[in-house]
Structure 1
Amino acid sequence: MNERRERVDVVIVGGGISGLCAAYWLAQQGFGVKVLERDAEVGGTMKSVHEQGFLSETGPNSALETTPLFRELVDECGISDEFLYANPVGKNRYILRDGRMHALPLDPAAFLMTKLFSARGKFRLLKEPFVGRGTGEESIAEFVSRRVGQEFLDYAIDPFVAGVFAGRPESLSVQASFPKLYALEKKYGGLVRGMIRGRRERKQRAEKAKDRAESFSFAGGMQVLPRAIATKLGHAVLTNARVEAIRRTDPSSFSVTYTHGDVPGTIDCRSVVISAPAYGAADLLQPLSGEAASVLRSITYSPVTSMVLGFKKEEVGHPLDGFGVLIPTKERRDILGCLWSSSLFPYRAPEGMVALTAFVGGARQPELTQLPENKLCDLVLNELKKIMQVSGKLVYLRVTTWKQAIPQYELGYLRKIEALDRFEESRPGLFLCGNYRGGISVGDCVKSASEVSQRAARHLRTHASPARG
Structure 2
Amino acid sequence: MKEVLVLGGGISGLATAWNLHKAGIPFKLIEKQVSMGGVISSKIIDDTIIDFGPNSLRDRDGSIRKLAKEVGLKDEIIDISEAFKTRFIIRNRELQALKPSLSTLLTTDVISGKGKLRALAEPFIPKGIAEDESVGSFLERRIGKEAVEYLVDPVFSGIYAGDIYKISKKEILPTLAEKEQKFGSIVMGVLRSKKEKSDIKPMVLTFKKGIQQLTEAIVGKISDRVLNEEVISIRALEQGFEVETSNGIIQAERVISCLPAHSLSVVLDGFDTALSNTLESIDYVPMLSTQVIFNKKDVELPQSGFGFLIPRNENIRLLGAIWKSSIFPELSSDDKLHFTLMTGGAHDRDIINENIQQVEEEVLAEFSELMNITPKPAWMESKLWHQAIPQFHVGYQSVRKVLKRMQAENPGFYIGGNYRWGVSVPDCVGGAEVLVHSIKKEIAYF
> SS at 1:73's partner residue?
helix
> SS at 2:291's partner residue?
strand
1:369 and 1:324, CA in 2 relative to 1: closer, same or farther beyond 3 A?
A: farther
What amino acid is aligned across from residue 95 of structure 2 in structure 1? M
* Match in the other structure for 1:406: 389
How far 1:186 moved relative to its partner? Answer: 3.2
| CA displacement, residues 78-114 of structure 1 (integer Å, 9 cap, x when unaligned) | 1011101111111111110111111223112222221
Contact 1:117–1:151 at 8 Å: present in 2 too?
yes
| CA displacement, residues 139-176 of structure 1 (integer Å, 9 cap, x when unaligned) | 11110010011111001110011101111111111112
* Match in the other structure for 2:218: 229
Unaligned runs of 5+ in 2: none
Alignment of 1:324 with 2:307, yes or no, is yes
| CA displacement, residues 50-74 of structure 1 (integer Å, 9 cap, x when unaligned) | 2333322121111101222212111
Contact 1:8–1:34 at 8 Å: present in 2 too?
no
What amino acid is aligned across from residue 382 of structure 1 in structure 2? A
Alignment of 1:450 with 2:433, yes or no, is yes
How far 1:28 moved relative to its partner? Answer: 1.4
How far 1:391 moved relative to its partner? Answer: 1.4
Contact 2:86–2:97 at 8 Å: present in 1 too?
yes
* Match in the other structure for 1:3: none
Unaligned runs of 5+ in 1: 1-6, 464-469
* Match in the other structure for 1:361: 344
> SS at 1:334's partner residue?
coil
> SS at 1:311's partner residue?
strand
> SS at 1:138's partner residue?
coil
* Match in the other structure for 2:229: 241
In 2, Cα distance between equivalents of 1:300 and 1:207: 35
What amino acid is aligned across from residue 147 of structure 1 in structure 2? R
| CA displacement, residues 177-226 of structure 1 (integer Å, 9 cap, x when unaligned) | 2223323323443222332355613x25x677xxxx43211010001111
Alignment of 1:270 with 2:257, yes or no, is no
In 2, Cα distance between equivalents of 1:187 and 1:65: 28
Contact 1:282–1:294 at 8 Å: present in 2 too?
yes
* Match in the other structure for 1:178: 173
In 2, Cα distance between equivalents of 1:225 and 1:187: 40
In 2, Cα distance between equivalents of 1:459 and 1:390: 59
Question: Which of 297, 319, 331 matches 1:348?
Answer: 331
1:189 and 1:27, CA in 2 relative to 1: closer, same or farther beyond 3 A?
A: farther
How far 1:369 moved relative to its partner? Answer: 4.2
In 2, Cα distance between equivalents of 1:320 and 1:357: 17
In 2, Cα distance between equivalents of 1:8 and 1:223: 31
How far 1:247 moved relative to its partner? Answer: 2.3
Moved more, 265-274 or 183-192: 183-192
> SS at 2:237's partner residue?
strand
> SS at 2:331's partner residue?
coil
How far 1:384 moved relative to its partner? Answer: 1.2
* Match in the other structure for 2:99: 105
In 1, Cα distance between equivalents of 2:26 and 2:126: 52
| CA displacement, residues 391-411 of structure 1 (integer Å, 9 cap, x when unaligned) | 112211111001111111112
How far 1:347 moved relative to its partner? Answer: 4.7
TM-score by length of 1: 0.91
1:391 and 1:348, CA in 2 relative to 1: closer, same or farther beyond 3 A?
A: farther
In 1, Cα distance between equivalents of 2:153 and 2:75: 37
| CA displacement, residues 374-430 of structure 1 (integer Å, 9 cap, x when unaligned) | 211220121012111121122111110011111111122111111111111111111
> SS at 2:218's partner residue?
helix
In 1, Cα distance between equivalents of 2:25 and 2:153: 44
In 2, Cα distance between equivalents of 1:197 and 1:448: 29
Alignment of 1:371 with 2:349, yes or no, is no
> SS at 1:50's partner residue?
strand
In 1, Cα distance between equivalents of 2:405 and 2:107: 51
Alignment of 1:144 with 2:139, yes or no, is yes
How far 1:462 moved relative to its partner? Answer: 3.9
Give me the identity figure in percent: 33
* Match in the other structure for 2:155: 160
Alignment of 1:190 with 2:185, yes or no, is yes
What amino acid is aligned across from residue 212 of structure 2 in structure 1? Q
Give the aligned CA root-mean-square deviation in angstroms: 1.8
Alignment of 1:386 with 2:369, yes or no, is yes
Moved more, 452-461 or 403-412: 452-461
What amino acid is aligned across from residue 255 of structure 2 in structure 1? V
TM-score by length of 2: 0.95
Alignment of 1:118 with 2:112, yes or no, is yes
What amino acid is aligned across from residue 363 of structure 2 in structure 1? V
In 2, Cα distance between equivalents of 1:199 and 1:44: 38
Contact 2:85–2:99 at 8 Å: present in 1 too?
no
Moved more, 297-306 or 284-293: 284-293
Moved more, 129-138 or 217-226: 129-138
How far 1:315 moved relative to its partner? Answer: 1.3
1:286 and 1:207, CA in 2 relative to 1: closer, same or farther beyond 3 A?
A: farther
> SS at 1:448's partner residue?
helix
1:277 and 1:195, CA in 2 relative to 1: closer, same or farther beyond 3 A?
A: same
| CA displacement, residues 342-386 of structure 1 (integer Å, 9 cap, x when unaligned) | 222145332211111111111112223432132112201210121
* Match in the other structure for 1:16: 10
Question: Which of 254, 258, 267 matches 2:245?
Answer: 258
* Match in the other structure for 1:418: 401
In 2, Cα distance between equivalents of 1:194 and 1:419: 32
1:407 and 1:207, CA in 2 relative to 1: closer, same or farther beyond 3 A?
A: farther
Alignment of 1:46 with 2:40, yes or no, is yes
